[in-house]
Amino acid sequence: MMFPRSQCVRAITLVAGFAIWTPGCSHAQESPQNITVATNRSIPDPTLQQSPMAAMKAFEPDANEEYTLAGGDEISIVVAGRTELSGKFVVGPNGRISLPTAGTVDLSGLTRDQASAAVEKAYGQYYKIVSASVSVDKYGSNHVMVLGAVEHPGLIEFDQTPTLIEAVTKAGLIQPGAASQGRTTGAKGITEAIPEECVIYRTTPTNEQILRVNLHDMLSTGSAMADLRLRRNDKIVVQDLRERTVTVLGEVRNPGEVLLTHNSTLPSVLAEAGGLTDAAGNARISIIDPQTQKQRFVRFNDLLTPSGVTEVALQPGEVIYVPKRGIAKVGFFLTQVSPMTSLMSLATIAAAP
């Protein structure tokens, strides 16, 4: 059985849909005005970003590398002509096994062929001719951990190369509607229960790597990289869609939180909130970030055009306020009072008859 092992990538790569981050590196690119040209000094080359496919391949282990032993693996050792030296063994947490006569042997990180050679060397100190073979009965160390918005978080074991799709599926995808209790998600709920995003954390002896994968988009486009090969002990955190919400207040029929999905638009969010009431104004809608107190305005008529819809990008945590007809001073609450009071004021207006 062949198992991959990737090289460490010490770089920061930000790409659409996912990102790899390795601590300890800095790749800030200087702007032209900050570059000073001096005698005998060259202008540094601009930093190039990896393409999305290159970033994924750099993170993904090679498909042709053999499996290496680690603590928890159950193995069989057969020594030709010497049944008393043969037997079944469990690799300890320290990567070692205890052989009859030969004593302790370290097999951690060795392939089966390398482990066979290590056993032969250990027995060779006591016997003239030794021919040993090592096979794996159970891949006890071949597991990844899946956390976050899954039904069965924890360790997932594999008898072959672990992959992202298989790991998430084994952990149990939250079914449509299950992640939306008490929240507005519309008739379809979470589209096909596929998580929008997941993050893979990998620790090596020399560094740490983080890969952010936009799983929903990759699956919807049919990308083969959605079935990314994983490495033993990878940690996958599936994003909880319940945290991706906006709050809709004001003149809508069902004010409250609305779940953001990969294809949410301002009109679709307003529709999820029950649509506008008859008292809604037709001037402009406010989109407020409670953290920064920044406010955006969208003219209602702009939502009737395709370009107006695509230009409005909603972010989790934002508040969408639809004013009453004749009210155009929502900004007063945001600039004159504290953020908490602002939201309370908006809620009061939304609940007013």
Q: Tokens 């200087």 map to which residue?
A: 30
Evaluate if residue 70 carries a pLDDT over 60. Answer: yes
Phi, psi of 130 (to 5 degrees): -130, 130
Q: Cβ distance 258 to 266 under 8 Å?
A: no
Q: Cβ distance 287 to 298 under 8 Å?
A: yes
Q: What is the pLDDT of residue 279?
A: 83
What's the token pair of residue 39?
């005698």
Q: Cβ distance 216 to 195 under 8 Å?
A: yes
Q: What is the pLDDT of residue 68?
A: 95
Q: pLDDT tens for residues 299-317?
A: 877 777 766 565 688 888 8
Residue 127: Cβ within 10 Å count:
14
Share of the chain above pLDDT 70, in %: 68
Give residue 287's identity as a one-letter amino acid code: I
Q: Tokens 């790899």 map to which residue?
A: 20
Q: Which residue has the higher pLDDT, 299 or 353?
A: 299
Per-residue confidence at 324, pLDDT binned at 50, 70, 90?
confident
- β partners of residue 305: none
Cβ within 8 Å of residue 345, ≥6 positions away:
333, 337
Give residue 192's identity as a one-letter amino acid code: E
Per-residue confidence at 239, pLDDT binned at 50, 70, 90?
confident
Evaluate if residue 118 carries a pLDDT over 50. Answer: yes
Cβ within 8 Å of residue 311, ≥6 positions away:
302
Q: What is the pLDDT of residue 311?
A: 67
Task: State how far the Cα of 122 lies from the Cα of 129, in Å rounded to an integer.
Answer: 12
Domains annotated for the chain, with CATH where assigned, are 74-138 (3.30.1950.10), 244-351 (3.10.560.10)
Q: Which residue has the higher pLDDT, 118 or 208?
A: 118
Q: What is the pLDDT of residue 100?
A: 93
On whether the pTM is more than 0.85, the answer is no
Evaluate if residue 343 carries a pLDDT over 70. Answer: no
Evaluate if residue 154 carries a pLDDT over 70. Answer: yes
Give the mean pLDDT of 207-225.
Answer: 80
Per-residue confidence at 186, pLDDT binned at 50, 70, 90?
very low
**Rg of the chain, C-alpha, whole Å:** 29
Q: What is the pLDDT of residue 315?
A: 87
Task: State how far the Cα of 236 lies from the Cα of 27, in Å rounded to an integer.
Answer: 26
Left, alpha or beta for 164 (phi > 0: left; psi -120 to 50: alpha)? alpha
H helices within the chain, ranges in order? 52-59, 112-124, 164-171, 215-220, 266-272, 306-310, 330-336, 339-351
